[in-house]
């Protein structure tokens, strides 16, 4: 169900998910390189997601720059006897602005089901952090024609109980699981069709105004050579970048492509 595009009203958002990579020194060097290339960049919202141990030094390196720092995940509880857990209040107290929620690797490797993703989303919203809610289908689900069914279920479980006001900071990232870390990427036509469906769901289930304002990212083997075609689609407002975000030059090219589109 296509929804209103109104792309001129929406932020353009490019995120760099560093995943479980780098050493502390490498993370600081990457932060410094990104600051030199993009630290005063305007026209696009930039967020990087270092591993937990590197949040503090990367935040220090990027302080007072145009690049925000976010967390890759949070525990659904604010505090308690949850050894190894990291909570939304903790990452907010460091200066993080944003949290990835329901990334496909959390769903597939750590067993984060729809209900747990919804709990984490509530925890992020409770701390006035910006959630990037990740949704997407597996290759088997796409081949069986279940893409819309899967994404509608993921959206409904996470978002249906929230008001438009509560979701004012929401970003949704469509990341087909079959394109994460595989070198494969959805075609612009495939990605646009799913983004239009997501925007239509938001318009019908939450509010048309929210649907027109929520930035939708594409994630799945985004690289400088395919970013332009993907970001030219009317309902794709940015990218959630994995491997290419570990190279400052590549990430900068993608960020600048988002500004030009």
Mean pLDDT for the stretch of residues 204-231: 96
Report the CATH number at residue 70. Answer: 3.20.20.70
- CA-to-CA dists, residue 143 to 73, 88, 169, angstroms: 29, 36, 33
* Helix H or strand E encompassing 109: helix 104-109
Whether 8 shows a pLDDT value over 70: the answer reads: no
**pLDDT, tens only, 41-87:** 999 999 999 999 999 999 999 999 999 999 999 999 999 999 999 99
Instruction: At 32, list the tokens.
Output: 């410094």
pLDDT band at residue 178 under the 50/70/90 scheme = confident
- 175 annotated active-site: yes
Could you read off the pLDDT of 82-101 as tens digits, one per residue? 999 999 999 999 999 999 99
Give the pLDDT mean for 127-146: 95
Write out the residue range of the structural domain in which residue 11 sits.
7-260
Residue at 135 is within a domain: yes
Q: Which is higher by pLDDT, 178 or 185?
A: 178
Q: Looking at the domain assignment, is residue 124 inside a domain?
A: yes
Of the candidates 68, 105, 175, 195, the residue annotated as catalytic is 175
CB 10 within 8 A of CB 198: no
With a cut of 60, say whether residue 2 has pLDDT above it. no
pLDDT at 92: 98
Residue 13 contacts by C-beta under 8 Å, 6 or more apart in sequence? 44, 45, 47, 132, 171, 215, 217, 237, 238, 258
Weakest mean pLDDT among 9-13, 29-33, 210-214, 249-253: 9-13
The residue behind tokens 């088997």 is 140
210 falls within a domain: yes
- What sign does the CA torsion over 200, 204, 206, 210 have? positive
Catalytic residue from among 103, 105, 137, 195: 103
Is 2 within the bounds of a domain? Answer: no
Q: What is the number of domains present in the chain?
A: 1
Where b means 16+ CB within 10 Å and e means fewer, 152-179 reads bebbebbbeebebeebeebbbbbbbbbb
pTM for the predicted model, two decimal places: 0.95
Answer whether residue 1 is part of any domain: no
CA dist., res. 123 & res. 231, Å (int): 30
């Amino acid at each position: 169900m296509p929804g209103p595009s109104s792309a001129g009203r929406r932020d353009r958002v490019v995120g760099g998910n560093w995943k479980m990579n780098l050493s502390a020194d490498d993370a600081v060097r990457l932060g410094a390189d990104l600051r030199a290339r993009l630290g005063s960049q305007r026209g696009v919202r930039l967020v990087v997601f270092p591993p937990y141990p590197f949040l503090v030094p990367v935040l220090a390196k990027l302080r007072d720059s145009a690049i925000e720092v976010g967390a890759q995940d949070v525990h659904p509880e604010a505090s308690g006897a949850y050894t190894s857990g990291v909570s939304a209040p903790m990452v907010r107290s460091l200066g993080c602005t944003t949290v990835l929620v329901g990334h496909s690797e959390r769903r597939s490797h750590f067993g984060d089901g729809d209900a747990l993703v919804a709990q984490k989303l509530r925890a992020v919203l409770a701390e006035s952090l910006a959630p990037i809610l990740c949704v997407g289908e597996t290759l088997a689900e796409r081949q069986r024609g279940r893409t819309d069914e899967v994404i509608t279920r993921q959206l409904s479980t996470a978002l249906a109980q929230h008001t438009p006001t509560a979701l004012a900071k929401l970003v949704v990232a469509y990341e087909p699981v079959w394109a994460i870390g595989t070198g494969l990427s959805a075609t612009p036509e495939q990605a646009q069709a799913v983004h239009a469906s997501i925007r239509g769901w938001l318009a019908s289930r939450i509010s048309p105004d929210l649907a027109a304002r929520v930035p939708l990212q594409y994630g799945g083997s985004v690289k400088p050579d395919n970013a332009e075609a993907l970001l030219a689609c009317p309902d794709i407002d940015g990218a959630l970048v994995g491997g290419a975000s570990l190279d400052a030059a590549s990430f900068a090219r993608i960020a600048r492509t988002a500004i030009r589109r």
